[in-house]
């Protein structure tokens, strides 16, 4: 199939982009890498009246340190996340995103905004306690990663808002593990564990509509419990559903196994 007809605007500023979204009154979409949006358009699952291209907006492709975190611009490509060395956890997670062609075009802002519960960056953002920066005609606001994602492919973004950057805190220690049928496929279970501010945070993707924070498992880890107890608690917190890819029981078993694998990395995976 082909997309339904739409108007196209190449924005040159954030202000111009959000103005176009506001003018579209709910019938506008942002496009940057297009790795998630274009297939949806081709299937006519979305029929926006206007696409607002933000690729030429200056200042959205930067990676800068800020207050113990890295501020990742919305237009930073996944391939660049792999190459950067300031945030090793983010680089490792980005290596698992799709294939080379997808990583060369897909963007940080696009992945966060798409809010796929199986995607790597939303899981890492949840584990790190990331902050999402959002712009509209009314100004700017921030949202925690936990509050930003409200359901599968659902966020708190209003129709006239756009993500401009994401602050990813630098963890003291971390681990990342993903299970997929083939490298580049969507993860059936993705686990990100990070020690931030002296406390551990564990986020699990693929077992619910949003990345799951395994809070009881985190408390056990902070208290020095052995990894197998932590992993069992994380699996018990998961409530996955069965689908064509895996049964709920299988996903729960893989949750326990891949929490163990993520925690097994932490001694050698220390942020620079």
Please report, rounded to a whole number, the percentage of residues in the chain having pLDDT higher than 70: 97
pLDDT digits (tens, 9 = 90+) for 100-115: 999 999 999 999 999 9
- The per-residue b/e assignment along 215-247, b for 16 or more CB within 10 angstroms, e otherwise, is eebbebbeeeeebeebbbbbbebbebeeeeebe
Can you point out the beta strands (E) in 145-237? 149-151, 154-155, 162-169, 173-179, 189-196, 199-205, 212-213
Tokens of 111: 């992945």
In this structure, are strands 162-169 and 69-73 parallel, antiparallel, or unpaired?
antiparallel
Q: What is the pTM of this model?
A: 0.94
Say if 1 falls within a structural domain: no
Q: Do residues 105 and 140 share a domain?
A: yes
Kindly tell me if the per-residue pLDDT of 269 is higher than 80.
no
- In the predicted model, what is the mean pLDDT of residues 160-183? 95
Look up the CATH number of the domain holding residue 230. Answer: 3.30.390.50
| Position 182 confidence tier, pLDDT thresholds 50, 70, 90 | confident
Residues facing residue 169 across a β-bridge = 69
Judged against a pLDDT cut of 70, whether residue 271 lies above it is answered with no
Reported as a single tens digit per residue, the pLDDT across 206-248 is: 999 999 999 999 999 999 999 999 999 999 999 999 999 899 9
163 with 180, same domain: the answer is no
Listed residues 108, 139, 169: the one ending a domain = 169
> Quick one: pLDDT at residue 215?
97
Domain that holds residue 145: 63-169
């Amino acid at each position: 199939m082909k997309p339904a007809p739409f108007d196209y605007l190449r924005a040159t500023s954030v202000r111009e982009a959000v103005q176009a979204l506001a003018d579209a009154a709910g019938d506008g979409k942002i496009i940057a890498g297009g790795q998630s949006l274009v297939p949806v358009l081709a299937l006519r699952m979305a029929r926006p009246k206007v696409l607002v291209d933000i690729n030429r907006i200056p200042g959205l492709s930067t990676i800068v340190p800020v207050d113990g975190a890295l501020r990742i611009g919305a237009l930073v490509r996944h391939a660049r996340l792999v190459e950067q060395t300031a945030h090793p956890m983010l680089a490792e997670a980005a290596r698992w995103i799709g294939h080379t062609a997808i990583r060369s075009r897909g963007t940080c802002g696009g992945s966060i905004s798409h809010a796929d519960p199986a995607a790597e960056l939303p899981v890492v953002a949840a584990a790190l306690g990331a902050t999402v920066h959002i712009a509209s005609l009314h100004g700017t606001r921030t949202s925690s990663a936990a509050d930003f994602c409200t359901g599968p492919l659902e966020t708190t973004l209003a129709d006239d808002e756009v993500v401009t950057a994401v602050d990813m805190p630098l963890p003291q220690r971390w681990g990342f593990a993903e299970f997929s049928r083939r490298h580049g496929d969507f993860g059936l279970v993705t686990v990100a564990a990070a020690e931030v501010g002296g406390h551990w945070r564990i986020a699990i993707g693929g077992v619910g509509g949003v990345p799951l924070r395994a809070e009881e498992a985190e408390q056990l880890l902070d208290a020095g419990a052995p990894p197998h107890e932590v992993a069992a608690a994380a699996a018990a917190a998961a409530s996955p559903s069965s689908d064509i890819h895996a049964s709920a029981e299988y996903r729960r078993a893989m949750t326990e196994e891949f929490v163990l694998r993520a925690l097994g990395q932490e001694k050698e995976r220390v942020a620079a």
